[in-house]
């Protein structure tokens, strides 16, 4: 697919969903496959992909599915499906993708049935141990591997004769001759047949120096309040770490939304042992500079296509290496003004203005810049630069949609809390004291008592509420106070009289919080001393 078809006047920076780019070729006439052409060597993405930790944690929009799509590219499959994918692999390695809700839910149900029977005559899901659920998960994931081998064998393009090399797999799937006729069919004999089949796959992988990958990317539709689901999924996390220790050539990778992390990790027996960040998971956190590189690379490619007549300008920006801070700053200085005047009449650095109206997710910065580019073109009939007014208008038009994106994963669980925010938080100033929180706290708790005992802590976990970083209190800036939110600080929120609290700019703007004259604006703390570094 030509790059021109990705970078259009309607979508100047291309698709927000990165996996669409990763899974499709940018050039029809060449063999070159520029996987990272529009995802410009982003450090969080590359680290998560190359560290190969089995659990990939990140919020919706952080790039988890893009990592899965990169793994999918290695499988040799030609397409990426959001529905259930029964496509075969063309690669010699074995890839099993559980990338749709119905596929995962089918396995959850099978594991759940096994767990249910293991709990005895009066099953209570709260009594289910992660070790028990992990054991059942292992069996059903091996079954998924057997099924994939069976499907791969049906492909005419697959050069491997799996039927002759792995006959036990086909006997197991087809249910033929898996039990010695002299033996009774019991759970023990069936388990023995399963173990022999599993061991035959392990021996094959070892002898041929091939690998098997099981990749799970379907946890976004999570019923996290269900004890059954949360207990069973906690068993999956234990199973994943067990697989990493038990099998050198079989690996499981699971994308876990940060939104569900607290609900799952509380059921892990020993979080320190089972979920070490050094060995168990990668967390996708983005710095502004990584996001600005992605935007710059995409915008430059767009300009090469749609501003081809300005050869001198194209030649100048083509020389820039966005891995160098000075080059990145030069590009932004060439395509947008240094400052904007925000809707409150105050002057701000234009890049900082866009960055602070995000929670540092790729889709947010791409959407904001893309909208600003389009509005600027409507104003000037030129793609050459982005105007100050277009930047402010893009933020004003986009912040409600971005706020809804952040809140959407939480709506099934905290619907009343989110509805209450619009009415209750609007009575607060953007930056407030603990006593001001207390002044509306009683009414907030009354509205949401069935969903959460502590709405302020829940809003912190969602990314709505934060607190002013006390370590930055001596940092005297003209425009900003520095806020700690869940997305830029994994410390728990503290409530004390000496601290001040804040609402993220996306929500303070969407819900029209009070703003006193001269009040400073909220900028995420500890993301970097400068957003260029």
What is the distance between the alpha carbons of residues 120 and 129, in angstroms, rounded to a whole number? 13
- Choose among 133, 137, 135: nearest CA to 123: 133
Residue 70, pLDDT > 90, answer no
pLDDT in tens, 436-473: 999 998 888 888 888 888 899 989 988 999 999 988 87
Residue 152, pLDDT > 70, answer yes
- Sequence ranges of the domains in the chain: 43-283, 288-406, 412-524
Residue 26, pLDDT > 60, answer no
Residue linked to tokens 């490619």: 301
What are the distances in angstroms from CA 300 to CA 154, 215, 382, 475, 499?
Answer: 44, 34, 14, 35, 43
Beta carbons within 8 Å of 66's beta carbon, 6+ residues apart: 17, 18, 19, 22, 39, 45
Decide if 4 contacts 12 (C-beta within 8 A). no
Collapsing DSSP to helix, strand or coil, 342 comes out as coil
pLDDT in tens, 219-277: 766 666 666 677 777 788 888 878 877 888 888 888 888 777 766 666 555 544 555 55
pLDDT in tens, 469-510: 988 877 767 788 899 998 887 778 889 999 999 999 999 999
Query: Rounded to a whole number, what is the distance in angstroms from the first to the last CA of the chain?
Result: 34
Q: What is the mean pLDDT of residues 9-32?
A: 61
Residue 360, pLDDT > 60, answer yes
pLDDT in tens, 86-134: 555 555 788 888 877 677 778 878 887 887 777 766 656 666 677 788 8
pLDDT at 422: 85
Decide if 224 contacts 413 (C-beta within 8 A). yes
Secondary structure letter of residue 472 according to DSSP: G
pLDDT at 30: 46
What are the distances in angstroms from CA 384 to CA 55, 322, 325, 326, 387?
Answer: 42, 19, 22, 20, 10
Q: Which two tokens stand for residue 405?
A: 């994106």
What is the distance between the alpha carbons of residues 234 and 130, in angstroms, rounded to a whole number? 6
Beta carbons within 8 Å of 147's beta carbon, 6+ residues apart: 96, 173
What is the distance between the alpha carbons of residues 48 and 290, in angstroms, rounded to a whole number? 14
Q: Which two tokens stand for residue 204?
A: 């094959």
- Choose among 10, 33, 8, 13: nearest CA to 23: 33
What is the distance between the alpha carbons of residues 418 and 461, in angstroms, rounded to a whole number? 13
Beta carbons within 8 Å of 9's beta carbon, 6+ residues apart: 306, 374, 377
């Amino acid at each position: 697919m030509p790059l021109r078809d990705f970078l259009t006047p309607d979508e100047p920076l291309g698709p927000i969903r990165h996996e669409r780019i990763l899974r499709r070729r940018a050039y029809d006439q060449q063999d070159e496959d520029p996987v990272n052409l529009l995802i410009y060597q982003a450090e969080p993405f590359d680290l998560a992909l190359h560290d190969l930790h089995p659990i990939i944690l990140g919020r919706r929009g952080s790039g988890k599915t893009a990592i899965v799509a990169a793994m999918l590219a290695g499988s040799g499959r030609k397409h990426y499906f959001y529905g259930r994918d029964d496509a075969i692999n063309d690669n010699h390695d074995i890839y099993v993708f559980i990338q749709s809700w119905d596929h995962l839910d089918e396995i959850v149900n099978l594991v759940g049935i096994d767990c249910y029977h293991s709990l005895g005559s009066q099953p209570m899901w709260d009594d289910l141990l992660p070790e028990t659920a992990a054991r059942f998960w292992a069996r059903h994931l091996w079954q998924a591997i057997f099924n994939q081998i069976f499907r791969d064998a049906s492909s005419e393009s697959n050069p491997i004769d799996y039927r002759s090399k792995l006959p036990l797999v086909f006997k197991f799937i087809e249910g033929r001759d898996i039990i010695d006729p002299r033996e009774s069919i019991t759970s023990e004999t069936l388990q023995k047949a399963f173990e022999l089949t599993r061991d035959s796959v392990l021996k094959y992988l070892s002898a041929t120096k091939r690998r098997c990958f099981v990749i799970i990317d379907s946890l976004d539709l999570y019923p996290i309040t269900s004890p059954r689901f949360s207990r069973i999924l906690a068993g999956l996390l234990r199973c994943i770490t067990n697989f990493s220790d038990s099998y050198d050539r079989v690996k499981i990778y699971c994308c876990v939304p940060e939104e569900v992390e607290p609900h799952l990790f509380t059921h892990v027996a020993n979080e320190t042992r089972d979920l070490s960040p050094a060995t168990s998971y990668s967390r996708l956190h983005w710095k502004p500079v990584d996001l600005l590189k992605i935007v710059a690379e995409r915008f430059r490619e767009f300009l090469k296509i749609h501003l081809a007549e300005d050869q001198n300008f194209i030649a100048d920006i083509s020389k820039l290496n966005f891995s160098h801070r000075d080059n990145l700053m030069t590009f932004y200085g060439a395509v947008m003004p240094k400052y904007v005047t925000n809707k409150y009449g105050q002057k701000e650095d234009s890049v900082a203005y866009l960055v602070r109206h995000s929670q540092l997710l790729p889709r947010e910065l791409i959407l904001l810049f893309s909208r600003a580019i389009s509005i600027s073109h409507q104003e000037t009939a030129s793609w050459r630069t982005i105007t100050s007014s277009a930047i402010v208008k893009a933020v004003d038009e986009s912040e409600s949609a971005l706020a809804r994106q952040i809140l959407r994963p939480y709506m099934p669980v905290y619907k009343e809390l989110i509805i209450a925010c619009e009415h209750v938080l609007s009575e607060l100033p953007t930056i407030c004291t603990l006593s001001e929180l207390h002044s509306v706290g009683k009414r907030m708790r009354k509205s949401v008592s069935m969903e959460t005992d502590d709405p302020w802590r829940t809003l912190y976990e969602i990314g709505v509420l934060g607190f002013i970083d006390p370590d930055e209190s001596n940092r005297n800036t003209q425009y900003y106070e520095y806020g700690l939110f869940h997305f830029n600080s994994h410390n728990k929120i503290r409530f004390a009289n000496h601290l001040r609290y804040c609402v993220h700019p996306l929500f303070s703007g969407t819900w029209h919080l009070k703003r006193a004259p001269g009040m400073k604006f909220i900028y995420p703390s500890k993301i970097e001393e400068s957003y260029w570094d």
